[in-house]
Chains A and B, each alone.
Chain A
Amino acid sequence: MKRAVLRQLQDARSNKRPVALVTDLEEGEEALIDDGDLVAGELLLSTPVLHEIDAAVRYDRSGRLAEPNAHLFVEVFNPPLRLIVVGAVHIAQKLAPMARLAEYEVTVVDPRRAFATDSRFPSVHLRHDWPDDALTALDLDRRTAVITLTHDPKLDDPALVQALHSPCFYIGALGSTRTHAKRLERLSQEGFSDVQLERIHGPLGLPLGGRAPAEIALAAMAQMTQVLHGAAPLVKGAKPAAVG
């Protein structure tokens, strides 16, 4: 590996770029790929191979490509996963530490200062600005998940709008089937199409059946993980449990 490539790789990582280092195990040549573009190295790659690399980055899977390209070793360096929780509520208190254990950086957004306090949320980033300002400032990327928990359209909706405009990998919204239907109606009046609105997972979480705050947090964590890895639903056609 060339030092110039290494230096550029480390630069890209510290700038939180999702990059892939590709090494030709037969020739010893390498390429640094940032968003489909060769940014360093001498190894030339075909378009189909670049597509495979893009999938590897998306699903965060390092390894050799499938035959006939098994001589290409792809190392994926993704920025840290982030979870943005809107609503410093009881479920958020359970969800934040769970997400930290799963190695997410967690930010809790709630303009109601009495809710978002250090003592209720140790070891997470707290923001007290309005959700749309907060989410704009946080620059949601495809390693980010957004979950709204306030039940209050004044707080949840602006966050969902920002999330829908971003490439974030997961959007979840707490609320019953009825609440969710009303929410979708409001958002479609703001001009979002049904296809766009399908990105919102509501009611929130996999249908685990629990209703306690920690159980709802677990259901949300499970669903985020499933979506992150592009895994198939556990039970096809199962109706999500109504939560909240």
Chain B
Amino acid sequence: MAGDGRDMTADAARPTGGVPQDDELQTALAWLEAGRTVARAAVVSTWGSSPRPTGSQMIVDADGNMAGSVSGGCIEGAVVDAAKQTMRSGKPQMLEFGVSDEQAWDVGLACGGTVHVYVEKME
């Protein structure tokens, strides 16, 4: 197959790389090095069905630019707001979204699960 970067040298048999191309943390590092203010939000626990597994994360800058995701798009808006707050205050936050939470219905986590999202400033 052309274009898949494969060749026949011994080195080609080594893994192609430990960091995926679309890695959120690599994006975070690039944004930080460019002098941008950055927060990260990570799914730290889930209960019931949830769109993204534990460890999923999203990177947000002060302008609300984001990379990655913590749900199927239902809670990202609320997480970006919290991230902006954390970037201003420097204080981490633990967010909970679930069926018992009015806000979760408002922002549409309709899949019936609960997720905890930890938001911290990167510095």
Q: Are B29 and A10 in contact (CB under 8 A)?
A: yes
Q: Is B13 an interface residue (CB 8 A)?
A: yes
Q: Is A62 an interface residue (CB 8 A)?
A: yes
Stretch in A74-82, A168-176, A187-195, A198-206 with 4+ CB within 8 Å of B? A74-82
Known: A79-B18, A125-B6. A25 touches B118 (CB 8 A): yes
Known: A2-B123, A6-B25. A63 touches B45 (CB 8 A): yes
Contact among B18, B32, B42 with A6 in the assembled complex (CB-CB below 8 Å):
B32
Distance to closest chain B CB from A18 (angstroms): 10
Chain B residues closer than 8 Å to A10, beta-carbon distance:
19, 25-26, 29
Complex: A62 Cα to B10 Cα, angstroms: 33
Known: A14-B19, A15-B18, A63-B45. A1 touches B29 (CB 8 A): no
Complex: A7 Cα to B32 Cα, angstroms: 10
Task: Give how many A residues have a beta carbon under 8 Å from the other chain's beta carbons.
Answer: 37
Chain A residues closer than 8 Å to B34, beta-carbon distance:
none
Q: Is B61 an interface residue (CB 8 A)?
A: no
Q: Is A217 an interface residue (CB 8 A)?
A: no
Distance to closest chain B CB from A14 (angstroms): 5
Chain A residues closer than 8 Å to B102, beta-carbon distance:
none
Number of A-B contacts defined by CB within 8 Å: 81
Contact among B12, B19, B118 with A125 in the assembled complex (CB-CB below 8 Å):
B12
Contact among B6, B13, B17, B32 with A137 in the assembled complex (CB-CB below 8 Å):
B13
Contact among A9, A62, A64 with B25 in the assembled complex (CB-CB below 8 Å):
A9
Chain A residues closer than 8 Å to B10, beta-carbon distance:
127, 129, 137
Q: Are A126 and B8 in contact (CB under 8 A)?
A: yes
Chain B residues closer than 8 Å to A2, beta-carbon distance:
122-123
Q: Are B120 and A28 in contact (CB under 8 A)?
A: yes
Q: Are B16 and A13 in contact (CB under 8 A)?
A: no
Chain B residues closer than 8 Å to A126, beta-carbon distance:
8, 13
Complex: A80 Cα to B14 Cα, angstroms: 11
Q: Is B71 an interface residue (CB 8 A)?
A: no
Chain A residues closer than 8 Å to B78, beta-carbon distance:
none
Known: A13-B19, A107-B13, A125-B13. A3 touches B123 (CB 8 A): yes
Contact among A6, A73, A122, A124 with B29 in the assembled complex (CB-CB below 8 Å):
A6
Q: Are B16 and A105 in contact (CB under 8 A)?
A: yes
Q: Are B44 and A64 in contact (CB under 8 A)?
A: yes
Complex: A105 Cα to B6 Cα, angstroms: 12
Chain A residues closer than 8 Å to B28, beta-carbon distance:
6
Chain A residues closer than 8 Å to B122, beta-carbon distance:
1-3, 6
Q: Are A16 and B15 in contact (CB under 8 A)?
A: yes
Complex: A138 Cα to B123 Cα, angstroms: 37
Q: Is B84 an interface residue (CB 8 A)?
A: no
Distance to closest chain B CB from A147 (angstroms): 16
Q: Residue on A with the closest CB to B39? A: A1
Interface residue ranges, B against A (CB under 8 Å):
1, 4, 6, 8, 10, 12-19, 25-26, 28-29, 32, 40, 42, 44-45, 53-55, 92, 94, 118, 120, 122-123
Q: Can you name 15 A-B pairs with beta carbons within 8 Å?
A: A2-B123, A6-B25, A7-B29, A10-B25, A10-B26, A16-B15, A25-B44, A63-B45, A63-B55, A73-B42, A76-B55, A122-B1, A126-B8, A127-B10, A138-B14
